[in-house]
Amino acid sequence: MKKLLFICMALCIVFMGCEKEGVYNPGKKIRRIEYQSSSGGKQLGSEWTWEKNLLKKIEYPNAAYDRFTYEKNKLVKVEESDGYYTKITYNGDQYDKFEYNNPSGKLLESIKFTYENKKVYRLDVTDYYDDDDKSLPTEGFISHIISSKLIATMNKIASKSKSKSKEETYRVTYQYDKNNISESVLEYNEEYDGDIYSFKQTVMYEKYDQNENPYYHFYENPVGSKNNPLEVVVKEEDIFNGEVDVDRYTISYEYEYDGKFPKEIITKETYHNSTFRFTTIIEYLK
């Protein structure tokens, strides 16, 4: 089953743009993104098409794409190459809700925004499953909104679900230090035969650089940090039937810059004394 999850948190990196949501006018426009593994192999991630100051299309390998639709230069819809689409509604100039639908118009996911001091304080996410497959996609438009690591976390929660419910809800809350996220918390609770299964992921942003995050305020993600993270600590807690399982890992980032914007990002994830490394290469329009 094709699913989309717009939970804006943790390891996501979002575009630098103006404060008015639904409008995107970055200081540098991305043209192409590539990924390189530790073994040296390089592969295309995406190519971006612009019409003046509006992002019109993102193309991925194997002919997949996301197409952006605007009303008065404000983004209202994102259509995918396979027919799935996201509708975006507003409360004034702030996001109110995203609704993700399959090609026949069936609602698969909704995400509601709550604000405090003009920043997103909470996201309430509801997934509506139309079959027993609870896996989420790791490619396409979603990869520009949240990280593959967060997608893996959501898949982990779904695989541990005891009730096999057709509807699941999550809550994400944020704390800020000026224009950067200092901490985000994802929480999920489920009752099953009198027991409670709980999952909590806390992401602590320990250090930032002083340069511009090239994904700050990328359209559907008003949650994000103005600068680039240098060190992140992730703590995950599983609780079921009185048993507690705690896991912790760290992620560090190194950058090579094009002016104030990174053009090469080296990500290192250390987990149980093992380190995984990959590189993101960003090419901007001249």
Q: Which of 20-24, 241-245, 265-269 has the lowest mean pLDDT?
A: 20-24
Average pLDDT, the chain: 79
Q: Which residues of 30-58 are buried (b: 16+ CB within 10 A; e: fewer)?
A: beebbebeeeeeeeebbbbeeeeeebebb
pLDDT in tens, 185-237: 989 888 767 778 888 999 999 999 999 887 776 643 445 688 999 999 999 99
CATH number at residue 109: 2.40.160.150
pLDDT in tens, 200-209: 999 999 999 9
Question: Which residues have C-beta within 8 Å of that of residue 247, sequence separation ≥ 6?
Answer: 235, 236, 238
Assess if residue 47 is contained within a domain.
yes
Assess if residue 157 is contained within a domain.
yes
Distance, in Å, from the CA atom of 54 to the CA atom of 75, rounded to the nearest integer, reads: 9
Question: Which residues have C-beta within 8 Å of that of residue 18, sequence separation ≥ 6?
Answer: 24, 25, 217
Assess if residue 7 is contained within a domain.
no
Burial class of residue 263, CB neighbours in 10 A (0-12, 13-18, 19+): middle
* pLDDT on residue 101: 84
Instruction: Provide mean pLDDT across the span 59-69.
Output: 92
Assess if residue 46 is contained within a domain.
yes
Burial class of residue 219, CB neighbours in 10 A (0-12, 13-18, 19+): buried
Instruction: Provide mean pLDDT across the span 130-139.
Output: 50
Considering its fold, how many domains does the chain have in total? Answer: 1
Assess if residue 13 is contained within a domain.
no
Residue 18 pLDDT class (50, 70, 90 cuts): very low
* pLDDT on residue 32: 96
Instruction: Provide mean pLDDT across the span 122-151.
Output: 59
* Structural domain of 261: 30-284
